[in-house]
Amino acid sequence: MYRRSVGSTGTGATPGAYFAGSAGDAAVINQHGQVAFSATLDRPGTENFGAGLWVESENGLRNVALSEQPGIGLPQTVVLSSFDRLGLSSDGRVSFISRLSGTPTDIRDAFFVGAPGELRLVAANKTQIESPNGTLEIATSQANPIREW
């Protein structure tokens, strides 16, 4: 992978960080030429190679999510750890499943959707949703997002 510096405004990465390789799914592109991808980061001064999810468009490179950050809509002790099943809509919103770590340990994966800065939780295992038949608990978040929608 090309060693591009990503430690600048809007990218979510530490100054001096570089893309170190791909992570999870390959990149996806929509009909407007926007690209969403996940990659690992080389963070200078640390042995911690985090991962993240970005969207590249005419507005530049924007971070959507980073590993080790709390999952939106989940307990603050539950953090994102990896990204998979990436999708990209025609208006630049992304959808993905993230593996989770932290406590409580029974929340293991979650499905998110949104634009950079507007991410929201759709579902996570061990969370409850209301249905016409009452409250249901989601056993797993193995949704299969459409790659382009």
Q: Is 123 left (phi over 0), alpha (psi -120 to 50) or beta?
A: beta
Q: What is the pLDDT of residue 93?
A: 92
- pTM for the whole structure: 0.75
Instruction: Record the tokens describing residue 147, joined without a space.
Output: 């790659």
Instruction: Spell out, as residue ranges, where the chain has pLDDT lower than 70.
Output: 1-16, 24-25, 43-49, 126-131, 133-149
Query: For residue 123, how far is the Cα from the chain centroid?
Result: 14
User: How far from 60 is each of 70, 104, 120, CA to CA, in Å?
Assistant: 25, 36, 22
pLDDT digits (tens, 9 = 90+) for 82-124: 888 899 999 989 999 888 888 877 778 888 999 888 999 888 8
What element of type H or E holds 52? strand 51-57
